[in-house]
Chains A and B, each alone.
Chain A
Amino acid sequence: MSAQLADKSTAGSRTHDELVLLRDCVFAYRQDAQGYGDADNAVHDQAAPLALNHDNLTVHSGEIVMLCGQSGCGKTTATRLLNGLIPGFYHGALSGSRTVCGLDGDTADISEYVPLVGSVFQNPKTQYFNADVTAELAFACENMGWQSARIRDRVAEVAHRFGIEPLLGRRVFTLSGGQQQRLAVAAATMLSPQLMVMDEPTSNLDAVAMRELHDMVAQLKAAGVTIVIAEHRLAWCADLVDRYVLFADGAIVAEYTASEFRALSDERLRELGLRALDLEPYRQRVAELAATAHDDTAESDRHSDIPKRSKINAQSQIPLIETHHLTVGYGRKHGQFGSWFSKRMQRGQRSAFSRTIPDLRLFPGQIVGLMGRNGAGKSTLVRTLCGLQKPLAGRILLHTEPARPSALTRAGFLVMQDVNYQLFSDSVREEVLLGLDSADEATREQADEVLRDLDLLQFADRHPMSLSGGQKQRLAIASALMSGKELIILDEPTSGLDRRHMMQVGALLRTLADSGKAVLVVTHDDELAALWCDSIVTLDDACSLRALDSDGDGQRWIV
């Protein structure tokens, strides 16, 4: 244990108290650096001409600073100054003086930041570089040229410190998002950095995984590590943050101490476009909605007194989809080429998963939230409801008739969390006409109408990949509406969104429901669920869960 830890604890008491000093920093991304040029200013996330606008930021040693603000406000850009990715990787016009951990931003090479600054990013799936957990932990040390024995000691020490020993040696690909994100934090601390920079680390995590991340951050804080977090979700680490820095349009508009920030009313936070600091009221509301869902006789009565609920609810007595004693799952993993590369793949160790689902009824005009932990079977259930896989047992009724998977596939549509997978054409209009008779005048008119309803008509001739995330989401929904789908399922539509965009998604769900669609939304977002869902189904009851994942030498985890 040792040298590295001792090193870290003294770092806090050293004289250079100001670990980060940004003075009058101005930055504008070169247009090609952000992928696809300039999209519409009002809706595109990153299109602000100045990503940073004369910003001054000081971070003291041992502090936890939260950078907050709406999407595109410059908080992510600010984190990139701290870990050297600007100007080392993202290029553009940069001015102002920057000092990070004693490095001068103008002269330091990006590799000089490596031992001093640890970075954690938004997407757990794309920030590990190695196929297995141990190698990923060792990676930074290997790049620094450490000797093998020293790396092994350090890996064991860090794994022990964060309680991730059970993950060692497993394939990163098979871990849940929460486990991957814990691994990312652990891997970022391998070189004992003085500063940790986290860019929206929780946007793909469920409540339990966020709690685990919170504990890791608490531990790092106790060890004197300085942490800068850029986030939309504020509640998960509200007890740890020392200072809040509010960004708007690239400029720092306010700084609050923790107590000042906590004193802000919920209304004020909402005005600032920020997510709630205290999720408790939302959680309570979610629990109420979940309770009503189980008690399905009283369903429509209970909703009558709640504002903003759809009127169609009460009218449509015939459910679109109904399940009876449904068990979803799969017997074994499908062909996994990846395992060829893993010595741990042993014959006869198959991964099986099965989950009994409480009977569901999805009505047209209703928004149902599907919540529960990562790995609780939500995506398997969704795939089954869309007919993409067969149920292991039980029946699914479509319009009160037992339905084959192919019929379900025709009736249902899934908007994936990563919507890029479902856009196939080279213009927005072609995308909604794909598979339809595009020569038919009526069809074309209908397409224009659907696009207009979803505010996409002005982009009709643009390439789908040039749209912002929210626009892509709406385009996928437009394609579903064109092909006459009745059930729209959305998988985590609000991950990584600020409050304003979350509310936009909620309003869109309501529009879909009001037009007579049944809407099922898979989400970890308590705010979305509480504000927009008519009822909530939770897949958490451990008693009905028979999930086993076996991977490697007998390591099993039950979610």
Chain B
Amino acid sequence: MTVSPPAASHYLRLDPRAKLYLLLLANLVMFFHVSTRAEAVLVALVIVPLLTAGRVRMGVRLAVTYAVLLAIGLWAGAAVMDGVGTAGGEQTWVHVVGALCVGLRMMLPCFITGAYAFSTTSVSEFVCALRRMRVPESVVIPCMVVIRFFPTIIGDYRRIRDAMALRGLATGRWSLLRHPAQSLEFVLVPLLMNATMVSRDLSVAALTKGLGTRGVHTSMTEIRMRWFDWVAMVVCTIPLALGIGGVL
């Protein structure tokens, strides 16, 4: 029996490096403030890998959200245009909603590509990708530690909230909001105390497994850029290029 590499699943998933590239593209789209049309095309394109990776429900939800935000934004824009000169309270309201929707919509491409990258990539693939991109171990290891700590912190937080409830500290529904500084202290002190101990144990465990050895560190997971990775990267670059060039 051998452990089958994750790529053998029947879903089509891009290489982690291609995913990171898509994430970069989405950020550039926001950064360069490209036209709504280019942005919409890009969103349509990046939804596709999400669907092929088997995240149909997530893909559809994100697509619908984008469409709704886009529609509201366009409607609000049109409404404001129509009502030029007719000042009124209603128009301010339309303005606010419109601006909000446009703001959210512009962030969605980053969110979609981010959700895609994180929900379809295992940590080992991610680490392997970093190593293949020749990112130094001094960056790779902190990344691994951060990912390792997420579930720990969530578990710790729940236990601390239990302990606070038992002591009658910050119990009411809105107490965290009403006394933010005090609540933060109650949560943070045990959280940090515990994190120092966990980190010491983790360092010890990692050292005895050779994380500190010099020399090349390899990955069990193999990743490979295939033709569709390149196609996805090129195709998704087109709307950005056209958008920046002012064509779209």
Interfacial residues, chain A to chain B (CB-CB below 8 A): 35, 83-85, 88-89, 110-111, 113-115, 117-119, 121, 123, 125-132, 134-135, 138-148, 151-153, 155-156, 159-160, 165, 168, 171, 173, 187-188, 191, 334-338, 340-343, 345, 347, 383, 386, 388, 409-410, 412-414, 416, 418, 420-424, 434-435, 465, 479-480, 483
By a CB distance below 8 angstroms, the chain B residues around A155 are 3, 220
CB of B123 within 8 A of CB of A130, answer yes
By a CB distance below 8 angstroms, the chain A residues around B216 are 145
CB of A173 within 8 A of CB of B2, answer no
Question: What residue of chain B has the Cβ atom nearest to residue A336's Cβ?
Answer: B154
Question: What residue of chain A has the Cβ atom nearest to residue B121's Cβ?
Answer: A343
Question: What residue of chain B has the Cβ atom nearest to residue A155's Cβ?
Answer: B3
Task: Decide yes or no whether B202 CB sits under 8 A from chain A.
Answer: yes
How far does the alpha carbon of A46 sit from the alpha carbon of B194 in the complex, in Å?
19
CB of A127 within 8 A of CB of B2, answer no
- A-contact 0/1 string along B136-159, CB 8 Å cutoff: 000000001001101110111011
Contact of A131 among B147, B169, B202, B217 (CB under 8 A): B147
How far does the alpha carbon of A334 sit from the alpha carbon of B161 in the complex, in Å?
14
How far does the alpha carbon of A141 sit from the alpha carbon of B155 in the complex, in Å?
29
Complex interface residues of chain B between 192 and 241 (CB less than 8 A to chain A): 193-194, 197-198, 200-222
How far does the alpha carbon of A523 sit from the alpha carbon of B214 in the complex, in Å?
44
How far does the alpha carbon of A467 sit from the alpha carbon of B65 in the complex, in Å?
53
CB of B210 within 8 A of CB of A343, answer no
Q: Indicate the size class of the contact surface on chain B.
A: 35 or more
Interfacial residues, chain B to chain A (CB-CB below 8 A): 1-3, 5-6, 57-58, 118-124, 144, 147-148, 150-152, 154-156, 158-160, 162-169, 171, 185-186, 189-190, 193-194, 197-198, 200-222
With known contacts A130-B123, A143-B217, A117–B169 Cβ distance under 8 A: no
Listed by A's residue number, 19 A-B pairs whose Cβ atoms lie within 8 Å are A84-B208, A119-B208, A121-B205, A126-B201, A130-B124, A135-B221, A138-B124, A139-B211, A155-B3, A156-B3, A171-B151, A188-B208, A336-B154, A343-B6, A383-B162, A414-B163, A416-B162, A423-B193, A434-B167
Distance of A45 from chain B, by nearest CB (Å): 14
Contact of B2 among A147, A153, A422 (CB under 8 A): A153
CB of B208 within 8 A of CB of A85, answer yes
Distance of A418 from chain B, by nearest CB (Å): 7
Distance of A347 from chain B, by nearest CB (Å): 6
Distance of B34 from chain A, by nearest CB (Å): 28
CB of B210 within 8 A of CB of A140, answer yes
How far does the alpha carbon of A134 sit from the alpha carbon of B210 in the complex, in Å?
17
By a CB distance below 8 angstroms, the chain B residues around A110 are 207, 212
Contact of A89 among B121, B159, B203 (CB under 8 A): B203
CB of A148 within 8 A of CB of B222, answer yes
By a CB distance below 8 angstroms, the chain B residues around A422 are 160, 163, 166-167, 190
How far does the alpha carbon of A171 sit from the alpha carbon of B150 in the complex, in Å?
13
How far does the alpha carbon of A435 sit from the alpha carbon of B163 in the complex, in Å?
13
Question: What residue of chain A has the Cβ atom nearest to residue B163's Cβ?
Answer: A422
By a CB distance below 8 angstroms, the chain B residues around A420 are 190, 193-194, 197
CB of B3 within 8 A of CB of A152, answer yes
Question: What residue of chain A has the Cβ atom nearest to residue B215's Cβ?
Answer: A145
With known contacts A135-B220, A151-B220, A421–B163 Cβ distance under 8 A: yes
CB of B209 within 8 A of CB of A140, answer yes
Distance of A49 from chain B, by nearest CB (Å): 22
By a CB distance below 8 angstroms, the chain A residues around B159 are 416, 418, 421
By a CB distance below 8 angstroms, the chain A residues around B2 are 152-153, 156
CB of B166 within 8 A of CB of A165, answer no
By a CB distance below 8 angstroms, the chain B residues around A115 are 210
By a CB distance below 8 angstroms, the chain A residues around B57 are 347
By a CB distance below 8 angstroms, the chain A residues around B58 are 347
By a CB distance below 8 angstroms, the chain B residues around A134 are 3, 124, 220
CB of A85 within 8 A of CB of B207, answer yes
CB of B214 within 8 A of CB of A129, answer no
CB of B151 within 8 A of CB of A138, answer no
Distance of B132 from chain A, by nearest CB (Å): 12
CB of B208 within 8 A of CB of A435, answer no
